Each structure stands twice: as structure tokens, then as C-alpha cells.
Structure 1
Amino acid sequence: KGNFREDSDIDLLIVSDSFKRKNLRRRLEILGIAAARIMQPIEAYGVTPHEIESPQKVSFF
């Protein structure tokens, strides 16, 4: 958004074929576990290369 503050989180878009056949909930679980290990305020989203190339109308990006 461009409103960086000291308490802002880090937004990441992870693009990987590993997310194929995983629903949104499972993707968020996987990325949440990884983010917890880093111990930084991270908000990560996981998508496949195909989803980047062909975004749906309901997509968040």
C-alpha cells in the first residue's frame, strides 16, 4: 500500500509449482508454519506459475 511503518508486516508472494493441488487453506498453513520459524511479521501468499499467468476474477492480485 505504500504506508510503511515500524510495525508493518512483510507481504510476500511465493510462486511455486508445489502449490498445485493444494487449496488456499493448505497453502496458508504451509506458509504460516514457515513464517513462524522466521519470527518476523510476514504475510505470505502462495500461487502457482499458471495462476500468475492466468489470474481469475476472484484473485487477490
Structure 2
Amino acid sequence: MIPEVVTEFRKSSYSDQQGDCVEVAHAADGRRAVRDSKNASVGVQFYSAEQWAGFLTAMKTGEFPSH
């Protein structure tokens, strides 16, 4: 079952000026809803609070290469 998105989507603070970014919202079941801002109609991916926290930690510590 797809959870209800209960907040507005907001752009990542890491968004660039070309619109290459993701938008994040909260879902009713506590997960984070994530979508591509330039192609929002494609769909939403949902991540648990633990998964989202792990992703943020990896971003902050440079685990992912920059482009």
C-alpha cells in the first residue's frame, strides 16, 4: 500500500541552479517521500526514517562522489 503524503514537498538545500534536485515530504506512516523535482509525475519513492537518516549521514560525510 502506498502511504499518504501529508506535507508539501520541499526542495533539497543541496539543489543546484539547473533544477537537478530532489524534493522531500513526510508520509503518514513516518516514511520520507522523495521525488525528482524536474520529473515529479514519474512517481515517488518512500524511505523509512532509518534509511533516510543513513542517506543524510552518507551525504554529509562525503560517501557519495560529487559530480
Fold conserved (TM > 0.5)?
Answer: no
User: Structure 1 or 2: larger helix share?
Assistant: 1
TM-score by length of 1: 0.31
